[in-house]
Structure 1
């Protein structure tokens, strides 16, 4: 599978990304952004060994849960992959507070 396939569809997925960001923010995850939702959704899709049709691609984002999102954000934070993770410990504490609050 060509790993660049998904990036081509990113612009087409913009309405879904906005929808998911709004959903997560309404549930109290104010830090949710389109890029974080994109990364969380694409993480599982990149592991698919076969071609993923566009309708399955969209469906996987529509089915993205808060749990999937927070798992991705937490793991990324521990790996230091998130933007703005300069202070490390303070950001992780903030993230854990957000997780424990929900």
Structure 2
């Protein structure tokens, strides 16, 4: 049986890398990229692996995250999240 992943324990240590990755994405024109989204993207991808992921592999994965992978993850995540698309319109109608 594999060891439990410790991604949340590493988050503070990875702060400079996250800031660097956000700045990189912003320079490439993806101004809405955030540290939390990038963190979730990488951790969700690595949670799928069956084997234990060491710190250096996690760091490598984060440093090598491509914009295309991030945008694909965002797209899939937006389809998975249950959103009520018409809630904003209904609230606006109720205020009138």
- TM bucket (normalised to shorter chain) is 0.7 to 0.9
TM-score between both structures, scaled by the size of structure 1: 0.74
TM-score between both structures, scaled by the size of structure 2: 0.78
Aligned-residue Cα RMSD (Å) equals 1.7
Pairs aligned (count)? 84
Higher Rg of the two aligned structures: 2
Q: How far off its partner does 1:80 sit?
A: 2.1
2:63 is matched with 62
Task: Give unmatched runs, 5+ long, in structure 2.
Answer: 87-96
Cα deviation digits, residues 18-38 of structure 1 (max 9, x gap): 111001111111110000100
Task: Give unmatched runs, 5+ long, in structure 1.
Answer: 89-102
1:24 is matched with 25
